[in-house]
Chains A and B, each alone.
Chain A
């Protein structure tokens, strides 16, 4: 009894979190297990027959295994974009925070601009065509980097502020040049925010829907979010297949998250020790 009284907040939190956050996912799974007619009734009920395997097979087989191609494309896109983002943004955030100069004001403004201004699709396509990288995965990688820079620089700049300058100075006295200083001293200390950036940006790019739609047209180039479109058609919505698709799309981030979760937690608590 006293266990409950001592931990009532926690227990309540578990209950509420279960209802608020787990029920929608339960709904996705339940609907993915039904056949088409049952799923169109939209109810939160157990399926009369377990169709999950059939649905999975059908979804994966659609349009010549589009889902598998999409998965590969999405994975490559995410990994490449995030790698470049982390390096480029950290470099900018580092110099921005450490060396106030005449550039600082304009750069801050550009960061805000990058967050605020919605991208202009067609002129961007023309630029990509001029450079010969339209309809290519690497073209889209650069797009994602361009659109993601502002957010990442913002995060990096904020957290670099918490690294004492003395560490820089010590390293410089030891004879480190800018590259060694950056990669060997600063970057390791940025681990918590690097992890956050990787997680958030990976998810954003992995789930990105509109950019691949415009900049990477064509069946060979499809990404995972576009496969959702295959099923959400105007007339014949097969809810069971639609939700199987959502389920499948959710699994990679789930796996990555389960894997990174410990890192995130570790990163946060490392901050506590440091503080």
Chain B
């Protein structure tokens, strides 16, 4: 715990019979979370070791997991998942930060810009998916027709097997960068003005300010954005499903859509095993990363 640099001399309060931070504050959330999330998750862990038809379950040990790893597209799905997560997270962090700096500076129409940037966050994911799928149509879509005006032949954004996943990732960033920016704005705005004033007295320019003050002191915001967008990216499903359903063929499948397809096909035990695999995958990446990032910067 960081000690505050506040100079008022306040003694630590004596131990009171009722703590100001009672443990029962955890209770309402704990009940809802435990009953409706933890318990079903543990139940599904059990079912991941069975061949489950929803009506009866036959214990088959780790056969589901073996099957899942033999799944022909799993390796591709894993790679796609990582690519998607890194691309969306990276873009959201970089763009979000730059936009955050831009939108906390003295720029005209700042309120308008903040609003228009944040608005896609509010629109339904399915709606965004449908809209962009139509706009990305290879011949009659708005994007390629506009490119054609400049003589450029636009690619098959969602139909080219090597491009489909990235196209969805770009739409994901379009939709989500506003949220990252808002988090950054909150972080940047909380940097005490004294730092900037002190550095101005020292004769530092805008670039120095950016590099030495803003960037490091926005670290908590950066950590939050990285962690949240990475988790979201690794688990991402709704947008990919709305736009390509993992296609064309299987080329934009991610682990989440592979799991969903197995669930749809009625392979409940297998799908649940996939859920467990996904969980482990995300945990392996996020937990060490989060530890590393938090240790590095520390909270303010």
The stretch among B32-40, B65-73, B81-89 that forms the contact with chain A is B32-40
B221 nearest CB neighbor, chain A only: A158
For residue B299, CB closer than 8 A to chain A, the reply is: yes
Check if A127 sits within 8 Å of B36, measured CB to CB.
yes
A171 nearest CB neighbor, chain B only: B20
The stretch among B118-126, B156-164, B246-254 that forms the contact with chain A is B118-126
A residues contacting the other copy or chain, number (CB 8 A): 110
For residue B79, CB closer than 8 A to chain A, the reply is: no
For residue A170, CB closer than 8 A to chain B, the reply is: yes
Check if A88 sits within 8 Å of B21, measured CB to CB.
no
Q: Give per-residue flags for B174-193: 1 if the beta carbon is below 8 A from chain A beta carbons, else 0.
A: 10000100100110011111
Check if B124 sits within 8 Å of A200, measured CB to CB.
no
Check if A120 sits within 8 Å of B134, measured CB to CB.
no
Question: DSSP majority for the A interface?
Answer: helix
Chain B neighbourhood of A271, CB < 8 A: 186, 189-190
Distance of A94 from chain B, by nearest CB (Å): 7
Distance of B26 from chain A, by nearest CB (Å): 6
List which A192-222 residues lie within 8 A (CB) of chain B: 192, 196, 199-200, 203, 207, 209-210
A142 in contact with B131 given A9-B107, A124-B40, A250-B124 (CB within 8 Å): no
Check if B189 sits within 8 Å of A268, measured CB to CB.
yes
Check if A99 sits within 8 Å of B21, measured CB to CB.
yes
CA distance A192 to B128 in the complex (A): 28
B residues contacting the other copy or chain, number (CB 8 A): 96
List which B99-146 residues lie within 8 A (CB) of chain A: 102, 107-109, 111-128, 130-132, 134-135, 137, 140-142, 145-146
Nearest 3 interchain pairs by C-beta: A120-B44, A123-B40, A99-B21
B-binding residues in A (CB < 8 A): 7, 9-11, 13-14, 17-18, 20-25, 27-28, 31, 41-44, 84, 87-89, 91-92, 94-95, 98-101, 103, 107, 110, 112-124, 126-128, 131, 142-143, 145-147, 149, 151, 153-155, 158, 161-162, 164-166, 168-170, 172-173, 176-178, 181-182, 192, 196, 199-200, 203, 207, 209-210, 224-225, 228, 232, 239, 242-243, 246, 249-250, 253-254, 256-257, 261, 264-265, 268-269, 271-272, 274-275
A-binding residues in B (CB < 8 A): 1, 4, 6, 8, 10, 12-13, 16, 18-23, 25-26, 28-29, 32-33, 35-41, 43-44, 47, 54, 102, 107-109, 111-128, 130-132, 134-135, 137, 140-142, 145-146, 174, 179, 182, 185-186, 189-193, 220, 224, 228, 231, 234-235, 238, 256, 259, 263, 268, 272, 275, 278-279, 282-283, 286-287, 290, 299-300
